[in-house]
Chain A
């Protein structure tokens, strides 16, 4: 919005009289300036509001897959799993272009002297692996559902995504597992 980019005090004051959603769409520069003046934007919306956010689904083996783009879906292990594993000291990643079936072991992590298989939630082709984990395996613990993604997969059968749990169902599932 042109008025927002102006950056003068008057423009900002005028902006403040508009409904909150205006501020949510302002540029980062504008936001920082406003924040410096202790003016909080009323609606704390992501700056990527225009793009579709990640949509995670989960398996009973505690893996997640971001189904927002099945042509290149990120997969990883859940926060619950990362906590259970302990400090990850090494990650074995799959080889790019490998064809996998749902449930195949696509890699392994080592933590607390344990080599743990990581299974893929869906079948498909491995497109990319997260090489950050080769040097910084602890990223899985710091951000298991973000920067600690393991690989990107081209989903071969979208129907396999149907059977997975959404975040709510997965949360309930882990609570049930804990009380067993």
Chain B
């Protein structure tokens, strides 16, 4: 500890530096503790995921960590997913188009985030509390911590909750049957009676496995005000026309658990402490924007916010008008690393008209400002009317997104 001379302004400035250094030191010490519990005060999905990644990379290999965070409205796609296929991008910036007002009102601006773990696309908002558990690989199973969350939910009276075969958490619907084993987190008294009635998904899981650590994170729909429009956001008009490598989402009907955030957080805290008894009762540590002081957090934050990570990371895909009866042409485009890598324009009878021009090879889809201009350059000599039709179609399928407020 550095002693301070309060009489001197230089010492005051020095104190600010030492305070920050002391905080950093205690932060580093904490990362070495066997059991750690963090809650974020930030609603920024890019920051929360960066803090999570920092905890994954820097916590002691034998430690176990619980991290809870809530994000402002955002769509989180998996590491190997295709945003054009999974998301209705045109809906994400309501200020820039004519989406009709819904009743109740929609979520306003919605961020698009690609996370570092696998799996499918989910919608986050203030009614959803995300949970992350990081543990050593030898302790890891895909169900273990989902089961912990189900025990937490059941302790709040949510007896319909269970872990399903996809490691997600669902609420069984239908009428109550015979009692089941309370300890069995994979079945409820409603499961057998619910034949033909699909359970409602309330939590989706995804994982990231590194050499030293295993991370499991999941959502938890407690009381989202946006359930009625989540399906619109997660349904892309381009879906029938895209053939993609990578990972497609498995769609499920969702529902709210109807539990207050605080009750849920307390229940998770208790169940986590039961699984990982620490020598001192775990007090949670708040994390937030101050963690941007850490270089790796800031770098991760910038990367997650970058359009390159969001779009260029997309696995290869082709988009084709073949399945669109109202267009009298077969246009097929191949997009690799988020950029046009090939394309053909043919008549419906198969007769080729044009290939993608050399000039437009490597054109990043995310950088297109106007498809009308781009289509004319993509297929040199294309008839005006045909270019207009294709541009209008591409405006719907691969909408210009965030070009005017991008970083």
A interface vs B, CB < 8 Å? 61, 89-90, 92, 103, 105, 108, 110-117, 119, 134-135, 180
Contacts and interface: CB of A to CB of B under 8 A. Distances in A.
Contacts of B201: none
A115 B79 contact: yes
Contacts of A105: 210-211
B211 A115 contact: no
19 contacts: A89-B247, A90-B80, A90-B245, A110-B80, A110-B247, A111-B118, A112-B167, A113-B119, A113-B167, A113-B205, A113-B206, A114-B117, A114-B142, A114-B209, A115-B80, A115-B118, A115-B207, A115-B208, A116-B209
A113 B245 contact: no
Contact of B118 (A61, A103, A114, A180): A114
Interface in B301-359: 315-316
Contact of A90 (B117, B138, B205, B247): B247
Given A90-B315, A134-B245, A117 B210 contact: yes
A92 to B, nearest CB: 7
A75 B118 CA distance: 23
B316 A134 contact: yes
B399 interface: no
Nearest to A61: B211
A113 B214 CA distance: 13
Contacts of A89: 80, 247
Contacts of A134: 245, 316
A92 B208 CA distance: 14
Contact of B211 (A114, A119, A180): A119
Contact of B79 (A103, A110, A112, A180): A110
A113 B207 contact: yes
B118 A113 contact: yes
Contacts of A108: 79
Given A114-B119, A116-B208, 7 more contacts: A110-B79, A115-B78, A117-B209, A117-B210, A117-B211, A119-B211, A180-B138
A92 B80 contact: yes
A96 to B, nearest CB: 14
A92 B211 CA distance: 16
Contact of B208 (A61, A90, A114, A180): A114
Nearest to B204: A113
Interface in B195-218: 205-211
Interface string B241-275: 00001110000000000000000000000000000
Nearest to B336: A134
Contacts of B78: 110, 113, 115
A105 B207 CA distance: 17
A131 B315 CA distance: 13
A110 B211 CA distance: 15
Nearest to A90: B80
B189 interface: no
Q: Which 5 A-B pairs have the closest CB atoms?
A: A113-B119, A114-B207, A115-B118, A116-B209, A110-B118
A112 B209 CA distance: 12
B209 A115 contact: yes
Nearest to B250: A113
A93 to B, nearest CB: 11
Nearest to A135: B245
B114 to A, nearest CB: 11
A36 B78 CA distance: 53
A173 B173 CA distance: 46
Nearest to A109: B118
Contacts of A115: 78-80, 116-118, 207-209
A134 B116 CA distance: 19
Q: From A103, A134, A180, name the one whose CB has the most chain B CB atoms within 10 angstroms.
A: A134
A53 B245 CA distance: 34
Contacts of A92: 80
Interface string B357-384: 0000000000000000000000000000
A140 B271 CA distance: 38
Contacts of B245: 90, 134-135
A39 B206 CA distance: 55
A104 to B, nearest CB: 10
A80 to B, nearest CB: 14
B211 A113 contact: no
B142 A112 contact: yes
Contacts of B167: 112-113
Nearest to A118: B211
B120 interface: yes
A89 B80 CA distance: 10
Interface string B99-142: 00000000000000000111110000000000000000010001
A103 B316 CA distance: 28
Contacts of B80: 89-90, 92, 110, 115
A57 to B, nearest CB: 18
A89 B315 CA distance: 12
Contacts of A117: 209-211
Nearest to A137: B245
A73 B48 CA distance: 40
